[in-house]
Amino acid sequence: MSTFIKESAAPQKQVLADGTEIHRTSPWSPPGCHGVGCGIRAFVKDGKIVKLEGDPDHPVTEGRLCIRCLRALDIQYHPDRIVHPMFRDPKDRGTDKWKVISWDEAYNKIEEEIVKCKEKYGPNSLSVLTGTGREAGRYMTNTSARVCVTTNQCYTQSGFSCMAPRDTVCSMIGGAGYIEYDYANGLPGKYDDPEFVQPKYLLNWGRDSLRSNPDGTWGHSIIELMKRGTQLINVDPRVNWLSTRSLHHMQLRPGTDTALALGLLWVVINEDLYDHEFVEKWCYGFDKFKDRVNEYSLSWASEVTEVPEETIRAVARCLSEKPWGLNMGLANDQNPNGVESVHCLYALVAITGNLDIPGGTNLGWNITLDFGGNEYDAVDGVAGSKKKESLPPNPVTKEQRESTIGLNKYPIFKLLLGKAVPDLFLETIETDDPYPIRFCWILHTNPVAPTNSAQPMRWKNALQRMDFVVAQDIFINPTIAAACDLFLPLATWLEHDGYTTPLMGEHPGPVAAMIKVIEPLGEAKSEYQIIEDLSKRPAYWNNFHLEDGSTKFESPARYISEDLTKLVMFGKDWDYLKEHVDVCRKTEYRKYERGLLRPDGSPGFNTTTGQIELYSLMFASCGGDPLPSYEEPRFLQIAKPEWAEEYPLILTTGARNWASFHSEHRQVKVLREIKPYPVVEIHPNTAAKLGIFEGEWVCIENPWGKCYEKAKLTTRLKENVVNADHGWWYPEEDMNEPSLGGVWASNINELVPNNEIGFYGFGAPYKALPCKITKADKPPITEYRAQDLPSSQNYPGSIKNDAKLKDLMR
């Protein structure tokens, strides 16, 4: 068990003859992105970054970058970027009546409002909202537990439908971290390493990894594996680029993932294609699991999913071979039946003997050894961590933990997450039931635009009921414009130190240094620095400092070094990581045989039985079914035949694109040239019946709401399925109420219901909803060519209004 450094002649910093400095670093956020830690070379001349390019010495990305990184300077020096703290009176929400204030004034206001809220409404009347794919997640627990001293921390996506459902199943039935396909990112020789075995197949299930680099997994590794002979099996309702290069494409009916997985399991089990030795030694409850699978059939799975029987059978036979890897994506999370689909997919990997073998599907290292842990029993958000660090116990009380919104109804949230249940949290801030929550701190997320939330108008109205709202970001977005009173400007990833890891540190591969290239513009501060500043104030001193006065928040270097000690099999500090930029943790195979998963060091899995619990004792202990079962998408035509005539189409949302990360990057003209407006993909035959032509604005409508997008005619979808873009707003539109940057024109999440989630509180129907489409009477917003996009924003704290920074604008 060891780390290794990719050998490179390139130092972290070089200086050219003309004085230009070249800094090697890695991006994360802000702006947001999944934390692959791609290699960057930043060129600095006279204190300004003049160019960014890929770093050929990065061990995984090897000089390749997406368009968002290549255009990062358009964000860095954008005239509308906010670089000074701003405040407005709560009665002026929805207007542009902001004024610049100092950081001391901002911190005083935060301290004052926290005290007022607790005195008036009680100890848990404060909340912290967080987003996805942003470094803010690393600091959210310290913000909530040590500054606000509340347990009502909320990730605002309905059903917590991003990563958590998949990660939860991996913990509940395997007792270890997330499972991911092996792409040799943790081997010194990569694909040519003697330990690596080329996968025969890659099962790519509901993940467009080339565009998303999901959860920190390097998406282009799929192409690398395919070039070396791996054959792709793609599962997606759309025919995307990967589907056209696949050995098999299973174009399932949206929302029927669990049925398809059960069909594959039926073939593997009934054709006796499973690994008997692995099942007997390492799987618990196989006979009961087999009985459950046999309650279904291959013909049933084909009928439900619309995937031909012969295709399901052929794929199952491929998956009986070794090795193959599983790449399962967000489609499994954004489904009320998603926990069950992941249960089935995990079982499919296990019973075919492809778990944690070279070229197979790797087990994540176990960072949650104590199932009784959650973020409020642990340190800085690493559940169950036994590493000591220089922070006192956080001051939240047992009574606060017990009263966290939704934990009494959904025990898995209490067991593993310790966060508020988002669907119930929304209802609470609307109604004050079971108690009022009237202070909100928004950490780099945008639920109104939306990045992820269901029913964004309800979120907007509920946030406007708050007595006080703080937000930290780099731009004014629709959520901030509507509901925020205090704006804290953030430093970008080019302006502060940090680090990134794939899959939240659970998997091997590079731990990448995010190294400050220049000082923050104006008065912008990193999310770390905001916490450090607050930790030094008398009101919060005891929440952050030990009796001897020491604290993890002494400096960024100390904070990062202590954080790095929690990474399994790492053991390096910030100075070491900064010097080498990328330090890899080696992939360890068959960890269950070598005592690397259980805290006592014995072989096996960290479950009650020491085996993979196909019959899940943990799910049973939470009042659920220990075995997977299928639920028909609850609002589609089979489950709701009375809606079929009015809403004949199936709506799926959330597909990624190159030019934006959820609701971010809308200000960048070059990226808007690539993706100028949101589109809804419609089959040409369907469009013809509706009298709709390419590029026309259309209205998408269902029982919960409506929005407008442009029609894109394509045969990539079946005739009864449409796919709509998400996360859209228009910074060129009026940012005041009621427009809020045109956010209601194309807000597809208005069509997503709140609190239609799975049994355990996970999964929502983002990808399987009914809808109808009609031609729009007129465009919902003013259209511009990308290069002519105006700015409606003129905030006093922006770069354009800072005389010292105006010359830097792009």
Residue 387 has a pLDDT of 55
Asked if pLDDT for residue 768 goes beyond 80, the answer is yes
> pLDDT grade, residue 381 (50/70/90)?
very low
At position 603, the amino acid (one-letter code) is: P
Residue with the larger pLDDT of the pair 214 and 220: 220
Residue found under tokens 């130092």: 11
Asked if pLDDT for residue 367 goes beyond 70, the answer is no
Neighbours of 695 (CB within 10 A): 11
Instruction: Identify any residues that bridge with 44 across adjacent strands, giving them in sequence order.
Output: 21, 49
Residue 385 has a pLDDT of 42
Residue 378 has a pLDDT of 35
Asked if pLDDT for residue 376 goes beyond 90, the answer is no
> pLDDT grade, residue 570 (50/70/90)?
confident
- Mean pLDDT over 616-624 rounds to 96
In the chain the first and final C-alpha atoms are separated, in Å, by 47
Residue 503 has a pLDDT of 78
Q: How far apart are CA 442 and CA 449, in angstroms?
A: 14
Residues forming CATH 3.40.50.740 domain(s) in the chain: 86-160+377-497+522-567
Q: Which helix (H) or strand (E) holds 670?
A: helix 669-674
Mean pLDDT of the chain: 93
Residue 262 has a pLDDT of 98
Residues forming CATH 2.40.40.20 domain(s) in the chain: 641-788
Token representation of residue 369: 């050894």
- Mean pLDDT over 780-784 rounds to 94
- Mean pLDDT over 299-316 rounds to 98
Beta strands in 371-495, from DSSP E residues, in sequence order: 439-443, 468-473, 486-489
pLDDT in tens, 520-545: 999 999 999 999 999 999 999 999 99
pLDDT in tens, 479-526: 999 999 999 999 999 999 999 988 777 888 889 999 999 999 999 999
Residues forming CATH 3.40.228.10 domain(s) in the chain: 164-365+604-621
Beta strands in 56-213, from DSSP E residues, in sequence order: 86-87, 99-100, 126-130, 153-155, 177-181, 201-205
Residue 9 has a pLDDT of 64
Beta strands in 36-91, from DSSP E residues, in sequence order: 40-45, 48-54, 86-87
Q: How far apart are CA 366 and CA 353, in angstroms?
A: 20
- 744 and 457 Cβ atoms separated by less than 8 Å: yes
Percent with pLDDT over 90 in the chain: 84
Q: How far apart are CA 632 and CA 609, in angstroms?
A: 32
In the 8-state DSSP scheme, what is residue 652?
A: E
Q: Which of 170-184, 360-374, 572-586 has the lowest mean pLDDT?
A: 360-374
Token representation of residue 810: 């792009």
Q: Which of 50-54, 125-129, 130-134, 398-402 has the lowest mean pLDDT?
A: 130-134
Residue 34 has a pLDDT of 80
- Mean pLDDT over 629-652 rounds to 97
Domain 86-160+377-497+522-567 class?
alpha beta
- Mean pLDDT over 300-322 rounds to 98
- 358 and 622 Cβ atoms separated by less than 8 Å: no
> pLDDT grade, residue 369 (50/70/90)?
very low
Asked if pLDDT for residue 395 goes beyond 80, the answer is yes
- Mean pLDDT over 722-726 rounds to 97
pLDDT in tens, 216-240: 889 999 999 999 999 999 999 999 9
Token representation of residue 129: 């909202």
Largest CA distance in the chain: 75
Helices marked H in 498-595 — which ranges? 527-535, 541-544, 556-564, 574-580
Name the residue among 509, 400, 334, 496 with its Cα closest to residue 149.
Answer: 400
In the 8-state DSSP scheme, what is residue 155?
A: E
At position 262, the amino acid (one-letter code) is: L
641-788 CATH: 2.40.40.20
pLDDT in tens, 156-167: 999 999 988 999
For 736, counting Cβ atoms within 10 Å of its Cβ (0-12 exposed, 13-18 middle, 19+ buried), the class is middle
For 223, counting Cβ atoms within 10 Å of its Cβ (0-12 exposed, 13-18 middle, 19+ buried), the class is middle
Domain 164-365+604-621 class?
alpha beta
> pLDDT grade, residue 215 (50/70/90)?
confident
Residue 2 has a pLDDT of 64
Q: Which helix (H) or strand (E) holds 224?
A: helix 221-227
Token representation of residue 314: 């052929």
Residue with the larger pLDDT of the pair 655 and 423: 423
